[in-house]
A and B are shown apart, each in its own frame.
Chain A
Amino acid sequence: MTITMISGVMALGIGITFTIMAFRLPDASIGIPFAPRVFPAGLGILMTTLAILQIAKETIRIGQTEGSTTRDRDPYMRKILLSCVFAFVYAMLFERIGYVLSTIFFLETELWLFNGRENWKTNTLVAVIFSVAVYVLFSQALGVYLPRTPGIWI
C-alpha cells in the first residue's frame, strides 16, 4: 500500500468516526437544539468525501502505473520512533525529577540519536549547559515556573 493510500484510509476512518460522533452529540439546552452538531457533522461528511476521492484517485493512479506499489521503507523510522519514546519518558519524568535532570536525560538521548554515541562528551556538555541555561533564563529572568528537583535548589 502506498503512503498516499494509507493517508486516504486514515482520513476515511477519521471522517466516518467524526461524523458518527458529531451526530451523537447532545442537544443544546438554549437556542437551536442541534446547532452544536451542524458544523462538526459537516466537517465529518466533508472529510469522508475527500478521503473517498483521494482513495479513488490513488487507485486509478496505481492501476495506470503498475508495479510502482512497493513502499520504500524509511531507514530513519527507527530513530524517529526512539525519539518519540524518549519524549514520552521525558514527559513522565518532567514533574517527578524536575526540569533540569529530566531535560539533561532527554537531550542526552536525542543527541545520542542525532550526534552518535561516540561523541558522548560533547553531548553531555551540550545537554547540561542547555538545561541549566534554560532553567536560569526561564525561572529567574522570565519568571516562568519550571519544576524543581526534589531536595535540590534547582
Chain B
Amino acid sequence: METLTFLFEGLSIAIQPLNLMWVTIGGILGTLIGMLPGLGPATGVAVLLPMTFVLGPQASLITMAGVYYGAMYGGSRSSILINTPGAGAAVAATFDGYPMTLKGRAEAALAISAIASFIGGIIATIIMIAVALPVARFALHFGPAEYFMLFVFALSATASMSKGDTIKGFIATVLGLMISSIGIDGQSGVKRFTFGVLELEAGIDFLVVIIAVYALGEVFKSFRGIAEGTKKAQTKFGRIWITREDWRRSMWPILRSAPFGFFIGALPGAGGTMAALLSYSNERQLSKHPEEFGEGAIEGVAAPESANNAASVGAMIPMLTLGIPGSGTTAVMMGALLMLGLQPGPMLFQQQSTIVWTLIASMFFGNIILAFVNIPMAGALVRVLAVPPKILYPIVMGLAFVGTFAISYSLVDFYLLIIFGIVGFFMAKAQIPTTPLILAVIVGNSMEQSFRRAYTIADGDLGIFFGSPLAITLFVLTALSIFGPMVANAVRARRAVQAA
C-alpha cells in the first residue's frame, strides 16, 4: 500500500509535461548515441551528464534514465542493420537480427527488438517497484562492517566476472580504489597522495575519470575502426511491424526473459550483456527448432532484447537501494547522484523518496515513449548511421572537454581527463577491463569510510569484519565469486583433456 502511495506520487510528477519532455529528449539522444558502434549507454550518460546538471536533480535523473534506456534500444538498431552492436548488451541481437536483415526482414527485426525491449522494460519496472522498498529496508540492518564486506563482494564479483582474466580485473579494481583515496582524508584531515598539487586536495573527481575512460578512451580506440571503413546501413524500409506468427513465436521468450534479465542485471558485475547472452542460449535450448537460431529466428532477437532491457532496470536496484552500482552505466548514474548531493542507499528511500519514485515512475513513461520513437521513427533514426564516425568522434571529444569544464570550471581536470583517457586506452590495449576501475573509483570513498568506521568501533580489531553472520555470509560469497569461476574453468579444462 505504502509502495503504491509513493508510486502515485512519483507518477504524478513524472507525467508533468516538462518531465515527459526531458525523458523524450534523453531517450532520443540515447537512441542516437546507442546506435553508434563503440558508444554505449555509459558513454552516452557520461558525455551528456554535465549538461543535465543545470536542470536540477529530478529532471537531470529523468533525462539520464532516458539516455540509458534509449541507448539500450538504440544499440540493437546497429546490431540488426550493420551487424555491429552499438553497445555490448546488443551483441546478441547480431546473431539473428542481422541474418533477418539479409533475408529482407529488417522491418520485423527492428519492430520485435523495440517491442521486446518495451515489454522487458515494463515487466522489470513492475518487479522493481515490488522489491525496491523491501531491499532498502533490509539494507538498513547493515552496519559499517557489513557494508564494507558488501563493497568487497560487489567489487570482487565485478572483477572476476568481467571480460579477460581475473587478475587483470582485480588490478583494475585496486587502481580505481587507489585513485579514490587521493586527496584530504575526510576523517583525519591528512593529505594523501596529493604531490603538493593544491587541486588534488579535494580528490580526483570520479566524473572526470568516467568521461575520460568512456569518451576519450573509446575515441582513441576508434582510430583503428575508422581505418577499416564503415558499413552501409539499409535506410529504406517498408512498414516496421511484425506478423501474427512472429508474435506467437516471440511472446513466451519475451515474457520468460524479462524476469530472468532483471535478476541477472541486479547481480553485481553481471550486466545487460550477460543477461542477453544467457537468455539467448536458454531460448535456443528450449526451442523446438534450435537449428533456426543464428539463421534469422525472430525469438533469437526477442529474448535477448527483452532480457537486456530488463537487466538495465535490474541494475538500478543495487545502485539505488544499497549505493552499489552493478554496471558501468549505473556507476555513472550513481556518480551523477553523488554530484547532485544525493547519497544512494537505503537512506535515499527515506529522505528523498519523491526523487526516487519519480525516477522509477519515469521508467514507465520512458519505455512507452521509446517504443514510439523506435518503431514508427526507426527509419529516420537509423540515418544517423550514415553520418561518418570520422566526424562524430571528434565531436564526442569536444563534448567530453566542455562537459568536464562545466563540472568543475577547473583546467587541472582537463589534464586529468587526457591522462585518464590515455590510461583507459592503454587498459583496453592490455585487455584490462575498465568497468571494475570505474566502479571502484565511485564506491572507493564510501568503502573506505565504512572500513574506517568499523575499524574505529572495534578499536583496530579486524575481527569485526567477520563478526556477524551477515558479514561471514558476504565473505563466503566473495570467496565463491573469486574462486568459483576458477574452479569451473579447471573442471572444464580437465574434462576437455579427458575427452581428447
Main secondary structure of the interface of B (DSSP, over half): helix
Q: In angstroms, how far is the closest chain B Cβ from the Cβ of A76?
A: 4
Task: Kindly state the separation between the CA atoms of A57 and B489 in the bound complex, as whole angstroms.
Answer: 16
Is there contact, CB below 8 Å, between B393 and A28? no
Closest residue of chain A to B422, judged by CB?
A84
Q: Is A68 on the interface with B (CB-CB < 8 A)?
A: no
* Contact indicator B171/A50 (Cβ below 8 Å): yes
* Separation of A39 and B456 alpha carbons in the complex (Å): 13
> In the complex, are the beta carbons of A94 and B178 less than 8 A apart?
no
A57 x B174 contact (CB < 8 A): no
- Closest Cβ neighbor of A104 among chain B residues: B398
Chain B 397-411, CB within 8 Å of chain A: the 1/0 string? 111011001100101
Number of A-B contacts (CB under 8 A): 170
Asked if A26 and B54 make an inter-chain contact with CB atoms under 8 angstroms apart, the answer reads no
B448 touches A39 (CB 8 A): yes
Q: Contact: B174 with A43, CB < 8 Å?
A: yes
Taken together as a complex, chains A and B put the C-alpha atoms of A25 and B189 apart, in Å, by 12
Within A113-154, which residues are at the interface with B (CB < 8 Å)?
A: 113-116, 122, 126, 130-131, 134, 137-138, 142-146
Within 8 A of A (CB), among B159-178: 165, 167-168, 170-171, 174-175, 177-178
A31 contacts which of B177, B187, B398 (Cβ < 8 Å)? B187
With a CB–CB cut-off of 8 A, which chain A residues contact B405? 94, 146
| Chain B positions within 8 Å of A43 at CB level | 174, 177-178, 181
Contacts of B422 in A (CB 8 A): 84
Structural contact, B190 and A51, CB atoms closer than 8 A: no
Task: Give A18's nearest chain B residue, CB to CB.
Answer: B178
Q: Are B394 and A3 in contact (CB under 8 A)?
A: no
Are B188's CB and A35's CB within 8 A? yes
On chain B, the residues within 8 Å of A38 by CB distance are 451-452, 455
Chain A interface, >50% SS class: helix
Given contacts A54-B167, A80-B220, A130-B398, contact A36 B192 (CB under 8 A): yes
Please report the C-alpha to C-alpha distance between residue A110 and residue B185 in the assembled complex, in whole angstroms. 39
Chain B residues with CB under 8 Å of A57's CB are 165, 167
Cβ-defined contact, A32 with B456, below 8 A? yes
Residues of A within 8 A of B178 (CB): 14, 18, 40, 43-44, 47
Question: Which A residue sits closest to B426, measured CB to CB?
Answer: A7
Residues on B with beta carbons closer than 8 Å to the beta carbon of A18: 178, 193
* Chain A residues with CB under 8 A of B394: 107, 110-111, 113-115, 126
| Most chain B CB within a 10 A radius of its CB, from A57, A79, A144 | A144
Chain A residues closer than 8 Å to B401, beta-carbon distance? 87, 90, 103, 106
> Residue B288 at the A interface, CB < 8 A?
no
Q: Is B432 in contact with chain A by the CB < 8 A criterion? A: yes
Cβ–Cβ < 8 Å partners of A50 in chain B: 167, 170-171, 174
CA–CA, A146 and B402, complex, Å: 9
The listed residue (A3, A29, A90, A143) touching B54 by CB distance below 8 A is A143
Interface contact B406-A114, CB-CB below 8 Å = no
Task: Indicate if B466 sits at the interface (CB-CB under 8 A).
Answer: no
A6 to B177, CA, bound (A): 21
Given contacts A21-B193, A43-B174, A50-B171, contact A74 B455 (CB under 8 A): no
Q: Which chain A residues have a beta carbon within 8 Å of chain B's beta carbons?
A: 3-4, 6-7, 11, 14, 18, 21, 25-32, 35-36, 38-40, 43-44, 46-47, 50-51, 53-54, 57, 74, 76, 79-80, 83-84, 87-88, 90-91, 94-95, 99, 103, 106-107, 110-111, 113-116, 122, 126, 130-131, 134, 137-138, 142-146
Q: Which 3 A-B pairs have the closest CB atoms?
A: A28-B188, A110-B394, A91-B414
Which B residues are within 8 Å of any A CB, using their own CB? 50-51, 54, 165, 167-168, 170-171, 174-175, 177-178, 181, 185, 187-190, 192-193, 219-220, 223-224, 226-227, 388, 390-391, 393-395, 397-399, 401-402, 405-406, 409, 411, 414-415, 417-418, 421-422, 425-427, 429-432, 448, 451-452, 455-456, 459-460
Q: List 26 A-B contacts (CB under 8 A).
A: A4-B430, A14-B178, A21-B193, A32-B459, A35-B187, A35-B455, A35-B456, A39-B448, A43-B178, A47-B174, A51-B171, A54-B168, A54-B171, A74-B429, A80-B220, A91-B414, A106-B397, A106-B398, A107-B395, A107-B397, A111-B394, A115-B391, A126-B391, A130-B398, A138-B402, A146-B405
